[in-house]
Homo-oligomer: A and B are copies of this chain.
């Protein structure tokens, strides 16, 4: 069997490829990462490996068909990563991963490269040991998850037969703590909007014109400052309409097993709590929707100052939505509200992207049971069930198109800082993750009678 050192060497190779899907300049690196992954899958012993071309980044597919009487498990993961900026906040180079104590540090370390590779290595170990995996295996690894999986739905729809399976497994979520594994059973949906406010025709000298023009930065700030009410609720009319909330029993389970406010504040590194009144931090992050301005940009971005009034200002917005909300409806409501807030003399342009539906998964099927037993075998503890505030667009596609249940088998830790600087992954979980995945496949193999 390969050693941890060999795994770490491969993980470093994987993380060192800057597969930033959002950045057009990184397109070649994303493709290179897909090729690297295809080679890994071939070396793992998978029978058929292919890359589907899309309008943007390739989707890597692999399978190993053993026997029609065995259940088929489809592993999904994404090999693309978020941008690493701002680079100055990193203590090491984001695409030159380093080992610090028990952690590997680099962009994509936990989201999603280590978690994806866990299953490739589990499959590799099973084939190496037994000559074949204990279940039929399919792998679907995409390169566009961080930009909302724009080409995935069409591919899954067009290849429904090829991707048919009994269950899907995704490792792109957190455990509750290093000694407390967790199965995630709900995800928020997502929607991105980019708004640009266009003011006067051209950039103007701030001496010659300062005090005589309505500055687009001022107007944009006024708009952003009205996105939330005094009570921290989103101010967009109709934003909260139709939301379906969990029942009392589930809220009690969340309060008992989910992170408390103190833990959430500590994980966020904030000085104090903030959010919608009447909800815990864990509830705000999972069962309530949110609107975050993720970027603002206007005027000179270099060092030093440029004394001029820009003619435009841009903000990027990320909305997270919960059951009962639809991305298309929220787009309409948000567009209307921004238009309403835009002062006379300005023109606003709004681009929407990356719509994804929220999802709540059932928690009682045999595959979840197999996963729970596998976690217990590897970690010595029963997993708890968690809601996540994040979004994995494919989960809803698997549910709708493949009618297959999904097991969200997370191995990341809350402090891994996904999407942020110094993203890390706890290496002991890489080994325990492989053990969990192996045990899961073995459990599923013996659970076929429950199909």
Contact = CB atoms under 8 A, between A and B. Distances in A.
Interface of A: 21-24, 82-83, 85-86, 89, 146-147, 174, 188, 190, 192, 194, 199-215, 217-218, 220-225, 227-228, 264, 268-276, 281, 284-285, 288-311, 313, 315-316, 318, 320, 344-346, 353-354, 388-391, 417-422
Contact of A293 (B83, B215, B391, B417): B215
B307 A82 contact: yes
Given A201-B269, A210-B291, 17 more contacts: A23-B303, A24-B303, A24-B304, A85-B302, A200-B268, A202-B421, A203-B419, A206-B292, A206-B294, A207-B390, A212-B284, A217-B294, A221-B223, A221-B224, A294-B305, A295-B299, A308-B419
Given A22-B305, A296-B296, A272 B211 contact: no
Contact of A213 (B204, B270, B304, B418): B270
B390 A214 contact: no
Nearest to A82: B306
A365 to B, nearest CB: 25
Given A218-B228, A294-B310, A307-B190, A289 B211 contact: yes
Contacts of A311: 89, 269
23 contacts: A22-B303, A24-B304, A85-B306, A86-B310, A204-B269, A205-B390, A210-B291, A210-B318, A211-B284, A211-B289, A211-B292, A213-B268, A213-B274, A215-B292, A221-B223, A221-B293, A221-B296, A294-B305, A294-B309, A295-B298, A295-B310, A301-B301, A307-B419
A389 B82 contact: no
Contacts of A23: 302-304
A64 B217 CA distance: 49
Nearest to A261: B212
A347 to B, nearest CB: 9
A270 B202 contact: no
A285 to B, nearest CB: 5
A306 B295 contact: yes
A89 B264 CA distance: 44
A256 B366 CA distance: 87
Which 6 residue pairs are nearest across A and B when measured between Cβ atoms?
A201-B269, A211-B290, A22-B304, A295-B299, A210-B290, A207-B390
Nearest to A320: B210
Given A207-B391, A389-B210, A217 B293 contact: yes
A302 to B, nearest CB: 6
A21 to B, nearest CB: 8
A280 to B, nearest CB: 9
Most chain-B CB neighbours within 10 Å: which of A83, A284, A345? A83
Contact of A294 (B83, B308, B353, B388): B308
Contacts of A269: 200-202, 204, 311
A327 B147 CA distance: 46
B274 A212 contact: yes
A212 B264 contact: yes
A305 B24 CA distance: 12
Contact of A188 (B207, B214, B345): B207
A420 to B, nearest CB: 4
A52 to B, nearest CB: 22
A210 B200 CA distance: 33
Nearest to A209: B268
A313 B201 CA distance: 26
Given A218-B224, A316-B300, A420 B292 contact: no
* Residue among A82, A201, A222, A293 having the largest count of chain B Cβ atoms under 10 Å: A293
Nearest to A308: B419
B83 A306 contact: yes
